[in-house]
Amino acid sequence: MFLTLILFTFSTGLMYLFYRSRKDRMTIFQKMGIPGPEPNFLFGNLLEFQKVPLYKKHQEWKQKYGTTYGYYEGPTPVLVTSDVNILEEVFVKQFNNFHARKLWPVQVDPDKDEDVHMFFARGRRWKRLRGVVNPAFSAAKIRKMTPTVNECINHLLDVMRDTANKTSHKTVELLDIFRRLTLDTILRCEVGIDQNSLKNPDDPILNHCKGVINDTVKTPWLFLLGFLFPSLHCVWITLYKFLHNIKCNSAFWLEDRMREVVSMRRTLTNEHRNDLMQQMLDAQFASDSVKDLENEASKISNPYKKFLKSMTNEEIVSHALLFLLAGYETTSTTLAYLFFELSQNPHVQQRLRLEIMAVLPRGYHTIEYDDLKQLTYLDYVIWETLRKYPLASTVTARQCMRDCTVGNMQIPMGMLVHANLWDVHYDPTHWGEDPQAFNPLRFMPEQRRKRHATAWMPFGGGPRACAGIRFALLQLKMVVSKVLRDFDFYPSDKLIVPLPLKQGATILPAEGVHLSARRRGSALSEAGLRRGSVMTGIPLADWIGMRRKSLQEEDFGCEISPLEHSDNNSRKSSLTENLLKRNDTVTIRRNSKESRRNSLLENQLTSEAKSHMRRASVIKGIELLTKDSVGRGLKLTAINFDTKNYKHNLFNLRDVYFNGQPDIDNTMGIPTMPEELLGEMPHLKSKSVLRRGSAVPDLESVNEIELIESCKPREKNFILENTMDVFDEIDVMKKSNLTAERLHKRRGSG
């Protein structure tokens, strides 16, 4: 009886202490004067997330409580804010006080467990791991990954063609295909496994990656217990491992697979690769114990320096798994969102394709790292996609590691500060009156300079921002560049608009992204112009008409007026018009290495037409008439400044300068012309420039051939491709030795 009384008294005391502690924690925000929803004593506000996802609930509460408010995940207080000044303090300026991420119920102990990776690690351990991993994502290392990414994307194009041909209305589910692509790319570039899940949808690694995403919701009761009683974290993680080992958990299967890869790579002593795995293997510590590593570091005068160079075997395995899963999910989902937006905004898709074709004509199968730097509008499109869909917003939070002051708030140790990215990324204060619209021009330099640095945080912020940003952007830019050259994308019958979203490990399209993908260039193929084929005697007028049909139906999706002909014999009459009148024939070939190896088409031009060709070969400039997207007439001057790619006497459209009003500049979205170029050619009242190799949209006629005498001799190779798309070329006669002065005299006398 006495023992029973003692046990009763002891348990009652524990319950009272638990009650008082819980009650005190549930009044933290009330004492701080911060508004928020009323918490439940046991669950806090967790029950409110049963029917509404976290990111949507944050937006609802923002409307009700303002930009900064508080709620509770069990006993843990969570401060949610969309105030960019507070976010800058937490993520950047006071990083030493907020260097830890959110502690999830079934994650490993960030301080003690052997297999912690840098996403969960904190303090000096995080610094050590980050110091090992960062060099693997340097610009030099990313450049070396470009050929491998090119090869993976070529496999993607093959699969997309096959899938589009097999399905009705050429419908493609992009999320699944992009997941397979990013998995192959990550395994080859970062881990060193030759993978081809694009051709093998039943690949075991692919299936287990999908399983990891699904496993997180198979034991919701365990996650709930972890949130309710975080002090028993060691119990929940042990129970989680036990249950999922019984069920052959996908995460543990992948971890074993990565362990095998690490062992295999360690045996390849004669092979040194430039990937993440090699970077970590080179930094491996002699012992597999983190404790041994720390003890060894304590013996030297600068232990932090030692930390930067060391990593245990278990940490190598956990990081290989981290980058596999993180890249697999995030990059593929971003690509799916991007192509969805392009299908909904055809003017953006058209303009982006023009820029891509300018820098990377369709015959160029390999994209170089330096080529991507010229795709500025593509940068804007990617950044705008990440603004509209901050898919990692659920993990963009920091834990306060010591009591501190942020603004006028006293933040206690243990409190979480969560960035409400969906509200920040849609705030009219930062993004104008139409934040729901997809407008890549928000990211033009003059717009970015006006915006707060933390108004855009898709990769997180501060020192703990995503380490793989460069690699992710490389994949995004290369995939979009190559896919958009070959396909037009339209909404399919299966596509639901607006796109329904769901919350998993990230914010995902709930029903996938089903788009109609139509392969471009079909008009040429139907006319018999196939890659590597040889055709002679095509009437130039007929061929241009065929290309204009292709431009109208395939490239720009708009009606193009016929070429206007001139019957006068003025010396300024168009070269193209002269050729059209004579019904001459012209050589046409595809701009590809494969075509270059085949026999060129024979040029059947008449002697008079050949004379025009020779005369044109030293002309420096030409004026083109076209129309903008709303039908206004424009005059463009085309000048060539790049001669290094002029092999086989090919003349291509290289630079187009726009002579027009600023409002038309904005309509066509042509980048600003460099000041030094205006200084070199002062007689041109040009405002803007289309990049090297650009196609001129909606071209109507070539009206004047104008000799520009201020050009230097190195610039004398000039374009003849004026009504052609950038991936077709005219094989002209060999360059004449006529000087500009002799040509000017000939034209003046003619």
HEC string of 373-394? CCCHHHHHHHHHHHHHCCCCHH
| Residues 406 and 383 both lie in one domain | no
**What single letter denotes the amino acid at residue 85?**
N
- Please state whether 430 falls in left (phi above 0), alpha (psi between -120 and 50) or beta: alpha
| Residues 200 and 268 both lie in one domain | yes
CA distance linking residue 356 with residue 375, whole number of Å = 7
CA distance linking residue 197 with residue 182, whole number of Å = 10
Last residue of a domain, one of 519, 545, 569: 519
| Residues 412 and 441 both lie in one domain | no
**What does the pLDDT read at residue 362?**
59
Instruction: Residue 589: name the closest of 536, 654, 647 by CA.
Output: 536
- State the pairing for strand pair 588-590/501-503: unpaired
- State the pairing for strand pair 416-419/76-81: parallel
Extract the tokens encoding 249: 């958990």
Extract the tokens encoding 407: 């603004």
Residues contacting 242, CB < 8 A, separation 6+: none
| Residues 324 and 176 both lie in one domain | yes
- State the pairing for strand pair 655-659/688-690: antiparallel
Q: Assign 98 to helix, strand or coil.
A: coil
**What does the pLDDT read at residue 225?**
80
Residue 309 lies in a domain: yes
| Residues 473 and 509 both lie in one domain | yes
| Residues 575 and 662 both lie in one domain | yes
- Helices within 500-650 (DSSP H only): 522-526, 540-550, 575-581, 593-597, 607-616
Instruction: Residue 103: name the closest of 83, 75, 137, 143 by CA.
Output: 75
Query: Taking the CB of residue 26, how many other CB atoms lie within 10 A of it?
Result: 18
Contact present, 624 and 557 (Cβ < 8 Å): no
Last residue of a domain, one of 471, 487, 519: 519
Residue 5 lies in a domain: no
Q: In what order do the strands lie in the sheet with 487-491?
A: 171-173, 514-519, 487-491
| Residues 165 and 226 both lie in one domain | yes
Residue 82 lies in a domain: yes
| The total number of residues written for the chain in this structure | 750
Q: What are phi and psi of 539, to 5 degrees?
A: -60, 130
Query: Taking the CB of residue 570, how many other CB atoms lie within 10 A of it?
Result: 9
| Residues 444 and 476 both lie in one domain | yes
Contact present, 551 and 560 (Cβ < 8 Å): yes
Extract the tokens encoding 455: 């108004």
**What does the pLDDT read at residue 23?**
79
The mean pLDDT value of the chain amounts to 70
- The 3-class SS string of 692-720 reads CCCCCCCEEEEEEEECCCCCCHHHCCCCC
| Residues 646 and 601 both lie in one domain | yes
CA distance linking residue 596 with residue 598, whole number of Å = 5
337 exposed, middle or buried (CB, 10 Å; 0-12, 13-18, 19+)? buried
Q: Which CATH number fits the domain that encloses residue 334?
A: 1.10.630.10
Extract the tokens encoding 326: 């993180």
CA dihedral 310, 314, 318, 323 (to 10 degrees): 40
pLDDT < 70 regions, the chain: 1, 167-169, 214-219, 244-248, 269, 285-309, 362-364, 521-750
| Residues 377 and 251 both lie in one domain | yes
CA distance linking residue 66 with residue 476, whole number of Å = 35
**What does the pLDDT read at residue 275?**
79
**What does the pLDDT read at residue 9?**
77
Indicate the number of domains in the chain: 3
Task: Report the sign of the C-alpha dihedral through residues 363, 369, 374, 377, in that order.
Answer: positive
Q: What are phi and psi of 527, to 5 degrees?
A: -85, 0
Residue 481 lies in a domain: yes
First vs last C-alpha separation in the chain = 125
Residues contacting 56, CB < 8 A, separation 6+: none
- Please state whether 202 falls in left (phi above 0), alpha (psi between -120 and 50) or beta: alpha
CA distances in angstroms from 666 to 25, 168, 383, 558, 669, listed in the order given: 55, 38, 19, 19, 5
| Residues 418 and 496 both lie in one domain | no
Residue 93 lies in a domain: yes
Instruction: Confirm or deny that 404 is annotated as ligand binding.
Output: no
Residue 117 lies in a domain: no
CA distances in angstroms from 284 to 15, 108, 156, 340, listed in the order given: 48, 21, 35, 43
Residue 2 lies in a domain: no
**What does the pLDDT read at residue 697?**
36
**What single letter denotes the amino acid at residue 720?**
L
Distance of CA 329 to the CA centre of its chain: 13
CA dihedral 30, 32, 34, 35 (to 10 degrees): 10
* Segment 602-630, tens digit of pLDDT: 233 334 333 433 333 322 333 444 444 44
CA distance linking residue 114 with residue 290, whole number of Å = 6
CA distances in angstroms from 282 to 159, 269, 299, 309, 313, listed in the order given: 37, 11, 22, 9, 11
**What does the pLDDT read at residue 371?**
87
**What single letter denotes the amino acid at residue 66?**
G
Contact present, 333 and 304 (Cβ < 8 Å): no
Residue 610: which domain range? 532-749
**What single letter denotes the amino acid at residue 372?**
L
Last residue of a domain, one of 467, 490, 519: 519
Q: Nearest 5°: CA angle at 52, between 47 and 55?
A: 110
Q: Nearest 5°: CA angle at 193, between 192 and 195?
A: 140
| Residues 82 and 188 both lie in one domain | no
* Segment 140-182, tens digit of pLDDT: 889 989 999 999 999 999 888 887 777 656 788 999 999 999 9
Contact present, 432 and 98 (Cβ < 8 Å): no
**What does the pLDDT read at residue 217?**
54
Distance of CA 591 to the CA centre of its chain: 27
Residue 348 lies in a domain: yes
Contact present, 629 and 667 (Cβ < 8 Å): yes
